[in-house]
Amino acid sequence: MEEEKDAILKYKTNKHQLRTLRENYPKIHLYEKPFIGTEDIRQFCYCKRKIFFRYVLRSPMPLTYKMEYGMLKHEKIQKIKNKADDHVQKYYNVYLSDAELGLVGFLDYFEYDGKEAYPIEIKTGNIPAGELINSHKMQVAAQAMLIEKNFDFLVKKVRIFYTKFQKFTDYSIDIEDKLKVMEIIQEIREIISKERMPIPIDNPAKCRDCECTKYCKRG
């Protein structure tokens, strides 16, 4: 009994010491620039203002129908995984970062077919008639850059799996797309550091699906 009391006391003392250490030690910033996520890049392309609400005001975000639906992704990945019986190497739920660029991303999965590697993103919406929509393209281009950085491949395409149609579609990406991602990262950092609220998007119809409507006067 006495031993137990001593152990609890020792733990409490240590906990107290630890807290004192944490509070009094100088703060160490390993990275000067804030890390930007591939998902932030998608949000920025949808509407720049979202970045302001998320990272400057740090407003709590309600879940939209689309977000809840997106959270079912892991079940969908499991189904694809179960069907995977080809020779292609697949890596699921991969977290990658690039400290130099200040970019991080959680990839649904990526493949290496023996010749090239490419990210695969799972989307729940419709297949676009022509090009991949810009917000999705920039998101997967950023994922491609993370694969390049971490595995030393040149990534020239991205693949989207449209769950509604159970169909994979490939899109090519080039250096211009990757340069645009770098510009976006820079612009996101500026919004955060200057605490500047960007103008709202041109198309008010997009505000209907936005989780920031309750903070944004436009919404």
CA–CA gap between residue 150 and residue 15 (Å, rounded): 38
Options 36-44, 60-68, 178-186, 209-217: segment touching ligand SF4 (CB under 6 A):
209-217
How far is residue 12's CA from residue 192's CA, in Å, rounded to a whole number?
Answer: 39
Which is nearest to 175 in space by CA: 213, 203, 215, 148?
148
Enumerate residues 17-76 that contact ligand SF4 by CB under 6 A: 47, 49-50
Q: Which residues pair with 167 in a beta bridge?
A: 162
| Pairing mode, strands 157-162 and 89-98 | unpaired
Residue closer to ligand SF4 (CB basis): 94 or 201: 201
| Amino acid in position 109 | Y
Q: Write the interaction track for ligand SF4 spanning residues 78-107; mark x where CB under 6 A is met and - where it is not.
A: ------------------------------
Q: Nearer Cβ to ligand SF4, position 138 or 210?
A: 210
Region near ligand SF4 per CB under 6 A, out of 35-43, 61-69, 116-124, 202-210: 202-210
DSSP state of 106: E
Residue 96 C-beta: closest distance to ligand SF4, Å: 28
By beta-carbon proximity to ligand SF4, the closer residue of 144 and 212 is 212
Burial class (CB within 10 angstroms; exposed 0-12, middle 13-18, buried 19+) of 188? buried
Q: Which helix (H) or strand (E) holds 158?
A: strand 157-162
* Under rule CB under 6 A, residue 119 binds ligand SF4: no
Residue number, 49 or 123, with CB nearest to ligand SF4: 49
The residue within the footprint of ligand SF4, chosen from 77, 96, 155, 216 (CB under 6 A), is 216
What is the dihedral sign for C-alpha 62, 121, 176, 134? negative
* Site residues, ligand SF4 (CB under 6 A): 47, 49-50, 200-201, 206-207, 210, 212-213, 216, 218-219
